[in-house]
């Protein structure tokens, strides 16, 4: 067994196996175009014995479907209940001469260039190779039976939905998806569970939270957001709020049992001092965030650039910055703090540390905004509307570590 831990090693290994072996049996969640390995697969398409490709969340590029839909040995898994999420690349010359890569990388450009991926390579020389080959074959056969061929009209319909999903990503990137060498690409491959929740299921999850005494927390959370909305509506600038109001918004002043919801910041010394002194950079940063409408990448980056000016000696971290954002725009932002970070990052499938502003925006916020529950229509009124208006900040209710 060989462990593959870098994009270069993964790419070189897959390329070598594609040359060495004459039959491919693959099962992957997503596939994209525009990279060397995809071009190589098209060149060697006669070697495909079975290929199963998923389409959940419209992550597979429609050109993949178009290029391979007429291949008799390629099938696709349409979006159904549950998420089709395997990554198996089996290569064979015979049952006694084979190799297989199993791990995290999908067959996408990002997986073989920018992403952090890990996989292992097994082969026919491995201990227990016959049993491994049999198990892999059985899994691939099950995937094949659950997959289907796609017609041209079905692919056209998929392409239309794919465009809608990717227009959404371009909008939250400020009109264009970031490109270019050296720039972190938006993470759009979305794991299951939280991200596939319906609106009703999300509301049920939010309502389940109980405090240490077993009492529901939802009313006090919604009251905090409603009072904060009143602060921002009545004051044209954060700096124009009273000292107490600013402290409430920042989570570092009076009544911590109430205003400590969504990330209490009383222990953040530099942050608290900046709030108490009414630092102009914090006010300018928060004033740059609109009360409603789209928050683009450019707007977020400008907020961060201005916010950190308040902390020339350090202390202007993600916790304080996202606390302010989550209280002003709870529909867009969640406060990432020590009490919810572990559960939230585990659910998102990302590392907790180091967490910087780029990672927060690209790996958390952009992905939230492509979730089923987040994109649900605005309710007409009542508690459901209040939850919808604070839906991103209320993720804290799902992941707060009591």
pLDDT in tens, 53-92: 999 878 899 999 999 999 999 999 986 656 789 999 999 9
**Selection from 195, 192, 114 nearest residue 367 by Cα:** 195
Provide the total of helices (H) and of strands (E) in the chain, helices listed first: 18, 7
Question: What pLDDT score was predicted for residue 168?
Answer: 56
The separation between CA 103 and the C-alpha centre of its own chain, rounded to angstroms, equals: 19
Q: Quote the CA–CA distance of 271 and 310 in Å, as a whole number.
A: 9
- Given a contact cutoff of 8 angstroms between Cβ atoms, the answer to whether 32 and 38 are in contact is yes
Query: What b-and-e string marks burial along 264-302, b requiring 16 or more CB atoms within 10 Å of the CB?
Result: bbeebeebbebbeeebebbbbbbbebeeeeebebeebee
Question: What is the predicted pLDDT for the residue at 16?
Answer: 97
**What was the pLDDT predicted at 253?**
84
Query: Which domains are seen in the chain, by residue range?
Result: 2-152 (3.30.870.10), 193-399 (no CATH)
Q: Can you list the residues of the chain whose pLDDT is less than 50?
A: 175-192
Q: What does DSSP say about strands 2-4 and 74-77: parallel, antiparallel, or unpaired?
A: unpaired
Sequence-ordered list of residues with C-beta below 8 angstroms from that of 64, at least 6 positions apart, any chain: 31, 32, 33, 38, 53
pLDDT at 366: 86
What is the per-residue pLDDT across 31-58, written as a single tens digit (0 to 9) for each?
999 899 999 999 999 999 999 999 987 8
Nearest to 268 by CA among 317, 303, 329, 341: 317
Q: Exposed (0-12), middle (13-18) or buried (19+): which is 39, by Cβ within 10 Å?
A: exposed
Quick one: tokens of 296? 């683009």
Instruction: Give the largest Cα separation in the chain, rounded.
Output: 76
Residue 348 CA to residue 196 CA, distance in Å, equals 12
**93 three-state secondary structure:** strand
The phi, psi pair for 274, rounded to 5°, reads -65, -40
Rounded Cα distance between 322 and 113, Å, is 30
Q: How far apart are the first and last CA of the chain?
A: 41
The pLDDT of residue 79 is: 67
Cβ atoms of 87 and 106 within 8 Å: the answer is yes
Q: φ and ψ at 389, to 5 degrees?
A: -70, -25
Burial of 312-351, coded b for 16+ CB within 10 Å and e otherwise, reads eeebbbbbbbbbbbbbbbbbbbbbbbebbbeebbebbebe
Decide if 29 contacts 54 (C-beta within 8 A): yes
Q: Which residue is it, tokens 């999850």?
A: 205
pLDDT at position 166, please?
A: 67
How buried is residue 174: exposed, middle or buried, by Cβ count under 10 Å (0-12/13-18/19+)?
Answer: middle
Distance of CA 266 to CAs 59, 113, 181, 315, 357, Å? 41, 42, 40, 13, 21
Determine the pLDDT at residue 362.
86
């Amino acid at each position: 067994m060989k462990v593959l831990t870098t994009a270069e090693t993964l790419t070189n290994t897959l390329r070598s196996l594609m040359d060495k072996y004459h039959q491919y049996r693959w099962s992957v969640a997503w596939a994209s175009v525009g990279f060397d390995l995809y071009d190589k697969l098209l060149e060697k398409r006669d070697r495909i014995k079975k290929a199963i490709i998923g389409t959940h969340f419209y992550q597979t590029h429609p050109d993949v479907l178009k290029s391979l839909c007429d291949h008799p040995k390629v099938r696709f898994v349409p979006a159904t209940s549950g998420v089709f999420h395997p990554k198996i690349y089996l290569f064979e010359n015979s049952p006694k001469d084979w190799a297989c890569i199993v791990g995290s990388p999908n067959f996408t450009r990002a997986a073989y260039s920018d992403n952090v991926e890990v996989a292992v390579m097994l082969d026919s020389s491995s201990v227990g190779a016959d049993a491994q080959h049999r198990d892999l074959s059985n899994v691939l056969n099950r995937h094949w039976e659950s997959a289907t061929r796609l017609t041209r009209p079905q692919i056209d319909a998929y392409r239309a939905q794919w465009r809608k999903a990717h227009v959404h990503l371009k909008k939250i990137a400020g009109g264009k998806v970031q490109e270019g060498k050296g720039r972190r690409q938006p993470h759009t491959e979305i794991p299951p569970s939280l991200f596939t929740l319906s609106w009703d299921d999300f509301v049920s999850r939010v309502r389940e939270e109980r405090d240490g005494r077993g009492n529901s927390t939802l009313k006090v959370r919604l009251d905090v957001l409603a009072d904060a909305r009143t602060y921002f509506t009545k004051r044209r600038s954060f700096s124009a709020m009273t000292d107490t109001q600013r402290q409430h918004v920042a989570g570092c002043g009076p009544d911590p049992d109430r205003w400590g919801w969504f990330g209490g910041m009383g222990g953040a010394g530099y942050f608290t001092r900046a709030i108490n002194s009414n630092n102009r950079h914090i006010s300018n940063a928060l004033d740059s965030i609109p009360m409603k409408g789209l928050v683009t990448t450019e707007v977020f980056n400008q907020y961060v650039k201005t916010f950190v000016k308040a902390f020339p000696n350090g202390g202007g971290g993600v916790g304080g910055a996202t606390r302010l954002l989550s209280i002003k725009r709870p529909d867009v932002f969640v406060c990432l703090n020590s009490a919810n970070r572990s559960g939230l990052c585990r659910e998102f499938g990302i590392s907790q540390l180091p967490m910087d502003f780029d990672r927060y925006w690209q790996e958390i916020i952009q992905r939230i905004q492509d979730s089923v529950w987040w994109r649900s229509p605005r309710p007409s009124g009542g508690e459901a509307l209040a939850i919808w208006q604070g839906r991103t900040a209320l993720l804290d209710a799902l992941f707060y570590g009591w």
